[in-house]
Amino acid sequence: MLGFIKALPILIILGGIAYGGHTWMVGKLEDRIEQQQMQIDVLNQQNVALQTAAVQNEQTIKSLEENAKKQAEQITSLSTSAAEWENQARDYMNIFANHNFTKLARLKPQMIEDRANNATREVFDSVEEDSRDTEALNEQDD
């Protein structure tokens, strides 16, 4: 019993040191847990932001793909129209090459003037219609 009483102050000191060490270690670990929890919160917020950005990027990609398809269709349509107009121009040039319009214009000026005015009106109307179609498509893209 005497040995226990002599050892009691050492046991109390060792117990205090153990308690202090335990409290210090637990405090550090709790601080570390708190820091990691804050990091998890920040990373969760960043993850939400990235997911939102990914959704927006997917929508933008789909929109760009649709626009590219529309543009390809427009280019095809314009190429076809251009080929048709080139054929018409070639036909008209053949008409001019095969006829003496100066002589005909002197003999029948009103007939030539009416035909030229009608053909010019058709060309201008066609150009206006194509311009309206192109403008309408551009407004849809915006």
The whole-number pLDDT of residue 125 equals 92
**How large is the average pLDDT for residues 82-94?**
90
Same domain, 142 and 110: yes
Number of structural domains (the chain) is 2
Instruction: Tell me if 24 is assigned to some domain.
Output: no
* Residue 115: pLDDT over 80: yes
Same domain, 78 and 113: no
The whole-number pLDDT of residue 142 equals 62
Residue that wins the pLDDT comparison between 99 and 11: 11
* Residue 68: pLDDT over 90: yes
The residue type of 16 is G
Domain extent at residue 130: 100-142
Same domain, 86 and 72: yes
Question: Cβ atoms within 10 A of the Cβ of 14, count?
Answer: 11
Integer angstrom CA distances of residue 12 from 1, 2, 22, 56: 16, 16, 15, 65
Same domain, 104 and 137: yes
According to the per-residue pLDDT averaged within each range, which of 1-10, 30-39, 95-104, 108-117 is highest?
Answer: 30-39
Same domain, 74 and 119: no
pLDDT in tens, 1-60: 677 788 888 888 989 999 999 999 999 999 999 999 999 999 999 999 999 999 999 999
**CB-CB contact of 99 with 108 (8 Å):** no
Same domain, 54 and 94: yes
Band (pLDDT 50/70/90 cuts) for residue 141 is low
> What is the DSSP annotation of the chain?
-HHHHHHHHHHHHHHHHHHHHHHHHHHHHHHHHHHHHHHHHHHHHHHHHHHHHHHHHHHHHHHHHHHHHHHHHHHHHHHHHHHHHHHHHHHHHHHHHHS-HHHHHHH-HHHHHHHHHHHHHHHHHHHHHHHHHHHHHHHHH-
The whole-number pLDDT of residue 96 equals 75
Instruction: Tell me if 14 is assigned to some domain.
Output: no
Same domain, 81 and 62: yes
* Residue 112: pLDDT over 90: no
What percent of the chain lies above the pLDDT cut of 90? Answer: 57
Residue that wins the pLDDT comparison between 100 and 50: 50
